[in-house]
Amino acid sequence: MVEASKPRLLTGDRPTGALHLGHLVGSLDNRVALQHDHECFIIVADLHTLTTRPRKHEFGEVPGFVREMVLDQLAVGIDPSKVTFYLQSAVPAVYDLAVLLQMLVPKARLEQVKSLRSMARAAAMSDDAMTMGLLAYPVLQAADILMARATIVPVGLDNEEHIAIARECASVFNELYGDLFPLPDAMISRSPALPGVATGPAGSGAKMSKSLGNAVYLGDPPERVREKLATLTYDAGDRRLGDEAALLMFARAFVGDAEAADLRRELDAGSTSLAAAHALIDEAVNARLAPIRERRAVLAGDVGLVEETLVDGTIRAREVANHTLARARDAMGLESLWSGLVAATEARAKARRRPY
């Protein structure tokens, strides 16, 4: 019996560090749930890290980050027998497709993309120093998505416009050369960004992020988690992410909506102490992290496992990408241009009665 094919989904991250609680509630939980009913590709977008970190010493950190990131995803329960994990830079067809798609996107369109400006700012890159690579970031991302002919792309809000550009690439391509690419849809995470802990200079009101130094990592030991969570405060300065204090956002994400509402009432009434609230959150977070931590240690001890997972997936991604690229080249006439040259060369060799 032929199994009805599942919708194709593609998502992933730049390898900029180990994954944290913000990733867990913002995207990893979702990936675990979606893997059953979708054919999933998870990209490790190392080419995209080059857009803001092209220096050799910066790229030197990437192999370690790649390993941590894949290990984290396996530890939370993403099953490599269901999901194709792959290394972007090891799929050459993606570079080719990106060049072809660049012909279809007006430069002015890319100059409007706000996320690129904030990435440039975060990398201390002035407008004048903005590279072609960073400007074309969404086009490369479109190549990732379209090469897999994915229709569902789970991303954060900051990537919404990139997916709109991928759609535009697909529809312009289809219009010019015939239907090849299904139009991808962004699937924006329902959970709001998790605030960071107050260990970094940004404090706990900012979004949890590795670069702000305010993250609780999936691999952090319990004592470290407790110390970090104890910095969460319940004051107005904490409410930069919305109208709720960081402490309550943690309670909602890890204890529950109703419990968070109770906690707020009790804190406001003074019937619960801040220390008790920290203990409640610490217990809930550690209950989530304990099995992840345990699996992470077992998987990390299986030498070469993470690497093999990535190699297997990349080989599969190459097949898929080569197939799509061949169809795109065909549709554009590039393939027949080359094969025409080859055919004429072969005919000449034959007439000459000497092989080419």
Residues that bind ligand TRP (CB under 6 A): 10-14, 43, 45, 48, 141, 144-145, 153, 155, 159
> What residue type is 117 in one-letter code?
R
Shorter beta-carbon distance to ligand TRP: residue 40 or 306: 40
Least gap, CB of 141 to ligand TRP (angstroms): 4
Q: How far is the CB of 70 from ligand TRP (least distance, A)?
A: 14
Select 186 or 229, whichever has its Cβ closest to ligand TRP: 186
Q: Which residue is nearest to ligand TRP (CB)?
A: 45
Are 41 and 83 a contacting pair, CB within 8 Å?
Answer: yes
Query: Nearest to residue 63, comparing CAs of 306, 319, 305?
Result: 306
Nearer to ligand TRP, 20 or 264 (CB): 20
Tokens of 218: 């999936």
As measured in angstroms, the least distance from the Cβ of 145 to ligand TRP is 5
* Beta-carbon-side half-sphere exposure of residue 65 (alpha carbons within 13 Å): 18
Q: Residue 166 CB, nearest distance to ligand TRP (Å)?
A: 8
SS (H, E, C) 160-226: HHHHHHHHHHHHHHHHHHCCCCCCCEEEECCCCCCECCCCCCCCCCCECCHHHCCCCECCCCHHHHH
| DSSP states of 302-346 | STTHHHHHHHHHHHHHHHHHHHHHHHHHHHHTHHHHHHHHHHHHH
Nearer to ligand TRP, 10 or 251 (CB): 10
Residue 46 CB, shortest distance to ligand TRP, in Å, is 10
Residues 6+ apart with CB under 8 A from 207: 22, 193, 194, 195, 196, 241
Shortest distance in whole angstroms from residue 150 CB to ligand TRP: 8
Nearer to ligand TRP, 215 or 247 (CB): 215
Closest to ligand TRP by CB, 116 or 285: 116
